[in-house]
Structure 1
Protein backbone atom coordinates (compact mmCIF):
# COMPACT_ATOMS: atom_id res chain seq x y z
CA UNK A 1 0.00 0.00 0.00
CA UNK A 2 1.46 3.36 -0.99
CA UNK A 3 1.34 6.02 1.63
CA UNK A 4 2.42 9.59 2.01
CA UNK A 5 3.62 10.33 5.53
CA UNK A 6 3.99 13.91 6.59
CA UNK A 7 4.86 14.04 10.20
CA UNK A 8 5.50 17.24 11.98
CA UNK A 9 7.23 17.60 15.30
CA UNK A 10 4.85 18.40 18.00
CA UNK A 11 5.28 21.52 19.96
CA UNK A 12 4.90 21.77 23.67
CA UNK A 13 1.25 21.04 24.40
CA UNK A 14 -0.46 20.35 21.08
CA UNK A 15 -0.20 17.00 19.51
CA UNK A 16 -0.68 16.85 15.73
CA UNK A 17 -1.67 13.68 13.95
CA UNK A 18 0.30 12.51 10.92
CA UNK A 19 -1.57 12.72 7.63
CA UNK A 20 -1.78 9.63 5.44
CA UNK A 21 -2.79 9.67 1.82
CA UNK A 22 -3.41 6.31 0.20
CA UNK A 23 -2.19 6.39 -3.42
CA UNK A 24 -3.07 2.80 -4.31
CA UNK A 25 -6.29 3.75 -6.11
CA UNK A 26 -4.45 6.42 -8.13
CA UNK A 27 -1.81 3.90 -9.29
CA UNK A 28 -4.51 1.39 -10.20
CA UNK A 29 -6.36 4.02 -12.21
CA UNK A 30 -3.18 5.03 -14.05
CA UNK A 31 -2.47 1.43 -15.07
CA UNK A 32 -6.07 0.92 -16.16
CA UNK A 33 -5.89 4.02 -18.36
CA UNK A 34 -2.56 2.97 -19.86
CA UNK A 35 -3.94 -0.48 -20.62
CA UNK A 36 -7.12 0.99 -22.13
CA UNK A 37 -5.23 3.33 -24.47
CA UNK A 38 -2.76 0.63 -25.50
CA UNK A 39 -5.57 -1.73 -26.47
CA UNK A 40 -7.76 0.80 -28.26
CA UNK A 41 -5.06 2.64 -30.25
CA UNK A 42 -4.63 1.58 -33.85
CA UNK A 43 -1.16 1.77 -35.27
CA UNK A 44 -0.70 3.46 -38.61
CA UNK A 45 -0.16 1.09 -41.48
CA UNK A 46 2.60 1.84 -43.97
CA UNK A 47 1.35 2.92 -47.35
CA UNK A 48 3.10 2.25 -50.61
CA UNK A 49 2.63 3.61 -54.08
CA UNK A 50 1.55 1.12 -56.73
CA UNK A 51 3.78 1.06 -59.79
CA UNK A 52 2.59 -0.87 -62.80
CA UNK A 53 5.40 -2.53 -64.69
CA UNK A 54 5.14 -3.45 -68.41
CA UNK A 55 4.84 -7.07 -69.53
CA UNK A 56 7.51 -8.78 -71.58
CA UNK A 57 10.89 -7.64 -72.80
CA UNK A 58 9.75 -5.57 -75.75
CA UNK A 59 9.16 -1.88 -75.02
CA UNK A 60 5.92 -0.46 -76.30
CA UNK A 61 6.33 2.20 -79.00
CA UNK A 62 5.59 5.79 -77.98
CA UNK A 63 5.53 8.78 -80.32
CA UNK A 64 8.21 11.30 -79.40
CA UNK A 65 5.73 14.11 -79.90
CA UNK A 66 3.68 12.68 -76.99
CA UNK A 67 6.61 12.60 -74.55
CA UNK A 68 7.90 14.99 -71.94
CA UNK A 69 11.40 14.39 -70.55
CA UNK A 70 12.36 15.53 -67.05
CA UNK A 71 16.08 15.64 -66.19
CA UNK A 72 16.63 15.90 -62.44
CA UNK A 73 19.63 18.06 -61.56
CA UNK A 74 21.34 19.43 -58.48
CA UNK A 75 20.06 22.08 -56.04
CA UNK A 76 16.43 20.85 -56.26
CA UNK A 77 16.16 21.94 -59.90
CA UNK A 78 15.11 20.05 -62.99
CA UNK A 79 15.14 20.64 -66.70
CA UNK A 80 12.42 19.53 -69.09
CA UNK A 81 11.87 19.30 -72.80
CA UNK A 82 9.17 18.01 -75.14
CA UNK A 83 9.77 15.37 -77.77
CA UNK A 84 13.34 15.02 -78.95
CA UNK A 85 15.99 17.34 -77.64
CA UNK A 86 17.70 18.30 -80.88
CA UNK A 87 17.05 22.00 -80.27
CA UNK A 88 19.03 23.29 -77.24
CA UNK A 89 16.59 26.21 -76.81
CA UNK A 90 13.92 23.66 -75.93
CA UNK A 91 15.50 22.89 -72.54
CA UNK A 92 13.83 24.83 -69.73
CA UNK A 93 14.80 24.81 -66.05
CA UNK A 94 12.18 24.85 -63.29
CA UNK A 95 11.67 23.73 -59.70
CA UNK A 96 9.41 21.28 -57.86
CA UNK A 97 6.62 23.59 -56.65
CA UNK A 98 3.09 23.96 -57.99
CA UNK A 99 4.01 26.92 -60.21
CA UNK A 100 7.02 25.02 -61.55
CA UNK A 101 6.80 21.46 -62.79
CA UNK A 102 3.15 20.93 -61.84
CA UNK A 103 1.94 23.65 -64.19
CA UNK A 104 4.20 22.27 -66.95
CA UNK A 105 2.75 18.78 -66.49
CA UNK A 106 -0.84 20.02 -66.49
CA UNK A 107 -0.40 22.22 -69.57
CA UNK A 108 1.51 19.61 -71.61
CA UNK A 109 -0.97 16.88 -70.70
CA UNK A 110 -3.93 19.02 -71.79
CA UNK A 111 -2.21 19.96 -75.06
CA UNK A 112 -1.33 16.37 -75.96
CA UNK A 113 -4.81 15.13 -75.07
CA UNK A 114 -6.45 17.82 -77.22
CA UNK A 115 -4.11 17.32 -80.19
CA UNK A 116 -3.82 13.55 -80.34
CA UNK A 117 -6.46 12.16 -77.99
CA UNK A 118 -3.75 10.16 -76.19
CA UNK A 119 -2.11 10.53 -72.80
CA UNK A 120 1.23 12.20 -72.15
CA UNK A 121 4.23 9.91 -71.58
CA UNK A 122 6.76 11.30 -69.10
CA UNK A 123 10.39 10.14 -69.03
CA UNK A 124 12.14 10.85 -65.72
CA UNK A 125 15.94 10.94 -65.92
CA UNK A 126 17.65 11.37 -62.52
CA UNK A 127 21.26 12.52 -62.62
CA UNK A 128 24.07 11.61 -60.25
CA UNK A 129 23.73 14.99 -58.53
CA UNK A 130 19.99 14.81 -57.90
CA UNK A 131 18.60 13.70 -54.56
CA UNK A 132 16.35 10.73 -53.89
CA UNK A 133 13.79 13.19 -52.49
CA UNK A 134 13.59 14.83 -55.93
CA UNK A 135 12.65 11.51 -57.56
CA UNK A 136 9.94 10.93 -54.94
CA UNK A 137 8.69 14.52 -55.45
CA UNK A 138 8.42 13.98 -59.20
CA UNK A 139 6.48 10.74 -58.76
CA UNK A 140 4.18 12.58 -56.33
CA UNK A 141 3.65 15.36 -58.88
CA UNK A 142 2.86 12.77 -61.55
CA UNK A 143 0.24 11.24 -59.25
CA UNK A 144 -1.20 14.66 -58.33
CA UNK A 145 -1.54 15.66 -62.00
CA UNK A 146 -2.92 12.20 -62.86
CA UNK A 147 -0.30 11.36 -65.49
CA UNK A 148 -0.93 7.63 -66.11
CA UNK A 149 2.23 6.78 -68.09
CA UNK A 150 5.75 7.48 -66.95
CA UNK A 151 9.09 5.74 -66.89
CA UNK A 152 12.33 6.19 -64.98
CA UNK A 153 15.22 5.86 -67.43
CA UNK A 154 18.96 6.48 -67.46
CA UNK A 155 20.16 9.97 -68.28
CA UNK A 156 22.10 10.44 -71.52
CA UNK A 157 25.40 12.24 -72.04
CA UNK A 158 23.65 14.92 -74.08
CA UNK A 159 21.27 15.61 -71.22
CA UNK A 160 24.17 15.80 -68.76
CA UNK A 161 26.03 18.31 -70.94
CA UNK A 162 22.90 20.47 -71.21
CA UNK A 163 22.40 20.30 -67.44
CA UNK A 164 26.01 21.47 -67.02
CA UNK A 165 25.36 24.41 -69.39
CA UNK A 166 22.32 25.40 -67.32
CA UNK A 167 24.39 25.13 -64.12
CA UNK A 168 22.30 22.45 -62.40
CA UNK A 169 24.59 19.41 -62.67
Structure 2
Protein backbone atom coordinates (compact mmCIF):
# COMPACT_ATOMS: atom_id res chain seq x y z
CA UNK A 1 0.00 0.00 0.00
CA UNK A 2 0.97 3.32 -0.50
CA UNK A 3 2.63 5.23 2.09
CA UNK A 4 -0.23 6.92 3.86
CA UNK A 5 0.67 9.86 5.95
CA UNK A 6 0.35 9.18 9.61
CA UNK A 7 -2.35 10.94 11.42
CA UNK A 8 -0.95 13.79 13.43
CA UNK A 9 -2.63 14.04 16.72
CA UNK A 10 -2.88 17.43 18.34
CA UNK A 11 -1.35 17.82 21.71
CA UNK A 12 -3.98 17.98 24.43
CA UNK A 13 -3.65 21.12 26.53
CA UNK A 14 -4.55 21.26 30.15
CA UNK A 15 -8.04 22.65 30.80
CA UNK A 16 -7.11 23.71 34.30
CA UNK A 17 -7.10 27.49 34.92
CA UNK A 18 -4.88 29.01 37.60
CA UNK A 19 -7.09 31.30 39.72
CA UNK A 20 -4.44 32.41 42.19
CA UNK A 21 -4.23 35.92 40.75
CA UNK A 22 -8.00 36.23 40.60
CA UNK A 23 -8.35 35.32 44.30
CA UNK A 24 -5.75 37.95 45.26
CA UNK A 25 -7.51 40.64 43.25
CA UNK A 26 -10.91 39.75 44.70
CA UNK A 27 -9.60 39.97 48.29
CA UNK A 28 -8.04 43.34 47.55
CA UNK A 29 -11.35 44.58 46.14
CA UNK A 30 -13.27 43.32 49.17
CA UNK A 31 -10.87 45.08 51.54
CA UNK A 32 -11.03 48.27 49.46
CA UNK A 33 -14.83 48.40 49.54
CA UNK A 34 -15.00 47.58 53.25
CA UNK A 35 -12.65 50.47 54.06
CA UNK A 36 -14.40 52.97 51.76
CA UNK A 37 -17.83 52.06 53.15
CA UNK A 38 -16.58 52.55 56.72
CA UNK A 39 -15.07 55.94 55.85
CA UNK A 40 -18.19 57.05 53.98
CA UNK A 41 -20.49 56.58 56.98
CA UNK A 42 -21.66 59.92 58.37
CA UNK A 43 -20.33 60.70 61.80
CA UNK A 44 -23.10 62.03 64.01
CA UNK A 45 -23.41 63.15 67.56
CA UNK A 46 -26.14 61.56 69.64
CA UNK A 47 -28.77 64.03 70.83
CA UNK A 48 -31.50 63.30 73.33
CA UNK A 49 -34.55 65.47 72.90
CA UNK A 50 -37.20 65.06 75.58
CA UNK A 51 -40.78 64.82 74.40
CA UNK A 52 -42.81 66.98 76.74
CA UNK A 53 -45.68 67.37 74.31
CA UNK A 54 -45.29 71.14 74.62
CA UNK A 55 -42.70 73.32 72.94
CA UNK A 56 -43.92 76.84 73.58
CA UNK A 57 -44.26 76.56 77.35
CA UNK A 58 -43.32 79.58 79.40
CA UNK A 59 -40.98 78.47 82.18
CA UNK A 60 -42.42 78.49 85.66
CA UNK A 61 -40.98 81.00 88.08
CA UNK A 62 -39.18 78.34 90.13
CA UNK A 63 -37.58 77.00 86.96
CA UNK A 64 -36.23 80.36 85.83
CA UNK A 65 -33.31 79.97 88.22
CA UNK A 66 -32.36 76.73 86.47
CA UNK A 67 -32.45 77.97 82.87
CA UNK A 68 -29.36 79.21 81.06
CA UNK A 69 -29.74 80.63 77.56
CA UNK A 70 -26.72 80.64 75.26
CA UNK A 71 -26.87 82.83 72.15
CA UNK A 72 -24.35 81.90 69.45
CA UNK A 73 -23.36 84.72 67.11
CA UNK A 74 -20.92 85.36 64.27
CA UNK A 75 -17.15 85.47 64.82
CA UNK A 76 -17.28 82.81 67.56
CA UNK A 77 -19.09 85.10 70.02
CA UNK A 78 -21.26 83.78 72.82
CA UNK A 79 -23.72 85.72 74.93
CA UNK A 80 -25.40 83.98 77.85
CA UNK A 81 -27.84 84.86 80.59
CA UNK A 82 -29.62 83.03 83.38
CA UNK A 83 -33.41 83.19 83.74
CA UNK A 84 -35.65 85.22 81.47
CA UNK A 85 -34.22 88.11 79.47
CA UNK A 86 -36.94 90.48 80.71
CA UNK A 87 -35.95 89.84 84.34
CA UNK A 88 -32.70 87.85 84.35
CA UNK A 89 -31.17 86.16 87.37
CA UNK A 90 -27.81 86.99 85.79
CA UNK A 91 -27.65 89.76 83.21
CA UNK A 92 -26.48 88.97 79.65
CA UNK A 93 -22.73 88.64 79.39
CA UNK A 94 -20.41 87.97 76.48
CA UNK A 95 -18.05 85.09 77.11
CA UNK A 96 -15.49 83.02 75.21
CA UNK A 97 -15.38 79.33 74.39
CA UNK A 98 -13.07 77.04 76.28
CA UNK A 99 -12.15 75.91 79.75
CA UNK A 100 -11.90 79.40 81.26
CA UNK A 101 -14.98 80.67 79.45
CA UNK A 102 -18.38 79.06 79.01
CA UNK A 103 -17.15 75.71 80.36
CA UNK A 104 -16.27 77.23 83.72
CA UNK A 105 -19.57 79.13 84.01
CA UNK A 106 -21.71 76.11 83.10
CA UNK A 107 -19.92 73.89 85.62
CA UNK A 108 -20.12 76.52 88.36
CA UNK A 109 -23.82 77.21 87.91
CA UNK A 110 -24.78 73.54 87.40
CA UNK A 111 -22.95 72.56 90.59
CA UNK A 112 -24.63 75.40 92.48
CA UNK A 113 -28.09 74.21 91.38
CA UNK A 114 -27.28 70.58 92.24
CA UNK A 115 -25.97 71.62 95.67
CA UNK A 116 -29.13 73.63 96.29
CA UNK A 117 -31.26 70.60 95.35
CA UNK A 118 -29.37 68.35 97.76
CA UNK A 119 -29.43 70.92 100.55
CA UNK A 120 -33.20 71.43 100.31
CA UNK A 121 -34.06 67.75 99.82
CA UNK A 122 -35.28 68.11 96.23
CA UNK A 123 -35.29 64.60 94.76
CA UNK A 124 -35.21 65.70 91.13
CA UNK A 125 -31.51 66.48 90.82
CA UNK A 126 -31.26 67.30 87.16
CA UNK A 127 -29.19 70.45 87.33
CA UNK A 128 -29.59 73.34 84.93
CA UNK A 129 -31.44 73.42 81.64
CA UNK A 130 -29.51 75.04 78.80
CA UNK A 131 -31.26 76.64 75.83
CA UNK A 132 -28.88 76.90 72.88
CA UNK A 133 -29.85 79.44 70.24
CA UNK A 134 -27.54 79.57 67.22
CA UNK A 135 -28.04 82.64 65.06
CA UNK A 136 -28.08 82.47 61.28
CA UNK A 137 -24.68 84.14 61.30
CA UNK A 138 -23.04 81.57 63.60
CA UNK A 139 -21.27 78.61 62.07
CA UNK A 140 -21.80 74.89 62.56
CA UNK A 141 -18.57 74.36 64.50
CA UNK A 142 -19.82 76.75 67.23
CA UNK A 143 -22.89 74.58 67.73
CA UNK A 144 -20.74 71.44 67.87
CA UNK A 145 -18.45 73.08 70.43
CA UNK A 146 -21.39 73.98 72.68
CA UNK A 147 -22.80 70.45 72.35
CA UNK A 148 -19.37 69.12 73.31
CA UNK A 149 -19.46 71.36 76.39
CA UNK A 150 -22.86 69.87 77.33
CA UNK A 151 -21.35 66.39 77.16
CA UNK A 152 -18.13 67.34 79.00
CA UNK A 153 -19.88 69.21 81.81
CA UNK A 154 -22.48 66.45 82.22
CA UNK A 155 -25.47 68.68 81.55
CA UNK A 156 -28.25 66.36 80.44
CA UNK A 157 -31.06 68.83 79.95
CA UNK A 158 -30.54 71.10 76.95
CA UNK A 159 -32.37 72.13 73.82
CA UNK A 160 -31.44 73.68 70.49
CA UNK A 161 -33.90 76.40 69.52
CA UNK A 162 -33.81 78.06 66.12
CA UNK A 163 -35.66 81.30 66.84
CA UNK A 164 -34.82 84.52 68.61
CA UNK A 165 -37.12 86.84 70.46
CA UNK A 166 -36.96 90.50 69.38
CA UNK A 167 -35.21 91.34 72.66
CA UNK A 168 -32.54 88.71 71.98
CA UNK A 169 -32.00 90.06 68.46
CA UNK A 170 -31.50 93.55 69.90
CA UNK A 171 -29.05 92.09 72.44
CA UNK A 172 -26.98 90.50 69.65
CA UNK A 173 -27.06 93.72 67.64
CA UNK A 174 -25.24 95.53 70.46
CA UNK A 175 -21.51 95.31 69.84
Distance 1:149 1:40, change over 3 A: closer
Give the 3-state SS of the residue equivalent to 1:34 in structure 2. helix
Match of 2:95 in 1: 94
Residue correspondences, number: 142
Question: Which of the residues 40, 45, 49 maps onto 1:52?
Answer: 49
Gaps of 5+ in 1: 1-26
- Helix, strand or coil: the match of 2:168? helix
| Residue 164 of structure 2 is aligned to residue 155 of structure 1 | yes
Structure 1 residues 130 and 36, CA, compared in 2 at 3 Å: closer, same or farther? Answer: closer
User: How has the CA–CA distance of structure 1 residues 31 and 80 changed in structure 2, closer, same or farther, with 3 Å as cutoff?
Assistant: same
Question: Displacement of 1:130 after TM fit?
Answer: 1.6
Structure 1 residues 133 and 36, CA gap change in structure 2 (3 angstroms): closer
Superposition RMSD on alpha carbons, in Å?
A: 3.2
What stretches of structure 1 move > 4 A for 4+ residues in a row? Answer: 27-33, 39-42, 58-62
TM-score normalised to structure 2 length: 0.65
Conserved? CA contact 2:70–2:133, under 8 Å: yes
Measure how far apart 1:35 and its partner are. Answer: 4.7
Q: Structure 2 stretches of 5 or more lacking a match?
A: 1-20, 119-124
- CA 1:144–1:30 in 2, change beyond 3 Å: closer, same or farther? same
1:34 is aligned to 2:21: no
- Mean Cα deviation higher: 39-48 or 63-72: 39-48
- 8 Å CA contact retained: 2:81, 2:88: no
Deviation at 1:37, TM superposition (A): 4.3
Q: In 1, Cα distance between the equivalents of 2:117 and 2:101?
A: 25
1:138 shift after superposition: 1.2
Partner in structure 1 of residue 8 of structure 2: none
Task: Give the 3-state SS of the residue equivalent to 1:104 in structure 2.
Answer: helix
Paired residues of 1:127 and 1:160 also in contact (CA < 8 A):
no
TM-score in terms of structure 1 length: 0.67
